[in-house]
Each structure stands twice: as structure tokens, then as C-alpha cells.
Amino acid sequence: MSRGRFITFEGGEGCGKSTQVARMKAALAAEGLPVLLVREPGGTWLAEQIRRLIKDQDEEAPCDRAELLLFLAARSQLVKNVIRPALDAGTWVISDRFSDSTLAYQGYGRGLPLDVVRAANDFACDGLRPDITFLLDVSEETSLVRMRRRESATHSTADRIERAGSEFHARIRRGFAEIAKAEPSRVVTVDANGAPDAVWEEIWKSLGRIR
Ligand code: TMP
């Protein structure tokens, strides 16, 4: 039995990841492949508790270092208990965010030293790297419009990270672009400002690289 493939989706707020990861899951399953979809932070009981602590409470904001370590604790748990065993069993794993989000948000966004974030990331996931990463890039305008639309559709308000300000989010976007530039054989940048169908077509075509 061959090892499964590890596919990640990355991007800033409102980039349309949820739609595209769902399509990827459906398309792979339609080909008869065993497929598992996870999201970060989350995907195990412990990691979902950490997600709640990071995103959904206003009691006490974690400081930047604590925020980094919380994301990494959640990732370690998910990699060890879910992702690696699934890949070893031949399952294709799709993750809605992974290590690049930490480098972009906590490194480029919060300003923690990039070498520390990279090393900590590698330690947390025991060296596991995606086979391919789709970076969905959207302009600041698209991101704002989609976030507002989501807030009104779900009657929710933006969380602490989503509210962190336009400079923070601009640094994240630049960070993702740097990551893509440094690893062109792994990271496929997709212009995600357009209609979901067009974005999906580009993603599906690029998946040929790892099949
Ligand atoms: P989302 O899955 O709904 O996009 O929520 C995850 C939030 O957490 C999003 O604002 C990005 C942020 N995040 C980080 O800051 N660092 C990380 O390592 C990960 C996985 C997510």
C-alpha cells in the first residue's frame, strides 16, 4: 500500500479556503481515494479545546509567545494522533491550514523571530511537510468584503485574530508570498479573488504535480 498524500490550504482571512477544501475532499473521494479532512487548530479533542482558547474567549488574550506555543501544541497532537497514522494507512489528508499559517501569522504578523518559529514548527510536527500547498491569495478589499458577508450570514462577530488590524493582515499576506517564493516546488499560489469555480479549476489542474 502506498503512503497517502498530504495537501494543505493556506491564506489570509476570507480567502475562500473552506469552499475549496470541501471541493477537494469531494473530488478525491469521487476518484475512490480514501480521504480525510482536518482543520487547524483542531481535529482532536485537545486541539479543539486549544482552538477555543485561542479564538473564542475574551477573558485573557495569550501573549505572542503563548499564542505561538498554543498553535504548536495543537499541531503536535494532530500530527501524532491523526495525520501521520492516516498517511501511513494510505489516506490522503487535506488540512485547512498548517505550518505556513504559523510562520505567516506568528512570524511575519506578530513579529516573532522567523528562525525560532521555523525551528519550533519543525519540532512540533516532527518534520512532517505537506506534499503540496495551495496558497489562496486575495486582496485586502476581497478579504474585507468576504469577512463582512460571513459575519452577517452567520450572525457572528470577528474573533481576536480577525480583528487585529489591516497592517497585521498586510504583513501576513506578504509573509505568505515570501513563503511561496522560497518553496515554489511545494507551494502553488492561486489568485482567489475570482469566482469559486475558476479558483477550483486552477487548484485541480495543479494537483497533477503530486499524482
Ligand atoms: P480559521 O480556521 O477559521 O481561519 O481560524 C484560524 C485562525 O487562527 C485564523 O485567524 C488564522 C489563525 N492561525 C494562526 O494565527 N496561526 C496558526 O498556526 C494557525 C493554524 C491559525
pLDDT of residue 56: 85
Find out whether the beta carbon of 105 lies less than 6 Å from any atom of ligand 1: yes
Residue nearest to atom 9 of ligand 1 (CA): 161
Query: CA separation (Å) from 162 to 110, 135, 144, 158, 169?
Result: 13, 18, 10, 6, 8
pLDDT of residue 2: 87
User: Is residue 100 very low, low, confident or very high in pLDDT (cuts 50, 70, 90)?
Assistant: very high
Query: Does position 111 have pLDDT exceeding 90, yes or no?
Result: yes
Choose between 159 and 88: higher pLDDT.
88
pLDDT tens-digit series, residues 25-41: 999 999 999 999 999 99
- pTM (predicted TM-score): 0.96
Find out whether the beta carbon of 71 lies less than 6 Å from any atom of ligand 1: yes
* 23 CA distance to ligand 1 middle (Å): 20
Residue nearest to atom 19 of ligand 1 (CA): 101
* 141 CA distance to ligand 1 middle (Å): 20
Residue with cell 493582515: 169
The atom of ligand 1 lying closest to the CA of 74 is: 20
pLDDT tens-digit series, residues 43-81: 999 999 999 999 988 899 999 999 999 999 999 999 999
* 9 CA distance to ligand 1 middle (Å): 12
Which runs of E-coded beta strand occur in the chain? 6-11, 35-39, 92-96, 132-137, 187-191
Q: Of 116, 104, 74, nearest to 172 (Cα)?
A: 104
pLDDT tens-digit series, residues 124-169: 999 999 999 999 999 999 999 999 998 999 988 888 888 899 999 9
Q: What percent of the chain has pLDDT over 70?
A: 100
* 41 CA distance to ligand 1 middle (Å): 7
Find out whether the beta carbon of 137 lies less than 6 Å from any atom of ligand 1: no
Query: Does position 94 have pLDDT exceeding 90, yes or no?
Result: yes
pLDDT of residue 211: 86
User: Is residue 88 very low, low, confident or very high in pLDDT (cuts 50, 70, 90)?
Assistant: very high
Report CA 138 to chain centroid distance, whole Å: 14
The atom of ligand 1 lying closest to the CA of 54 is: 8
Q: Of 130, 129, 119, 137, nearest to 176 (Cα)?
A: 137
> Crossing angle of helices 17-30/196-206, nearest 10°?
50
Find out whether the beta carbon of 102 lies less than 6 Å from any atom of ligand 1: yes
Mean confidence (pLDDT) of the chain: 96
Find out whether the beta carbon of 17 lies less than 6 Å from any atom of ligand 1: no
SS3 content of the chain, % helix, strand, coil (to 5): 55, 15, 30
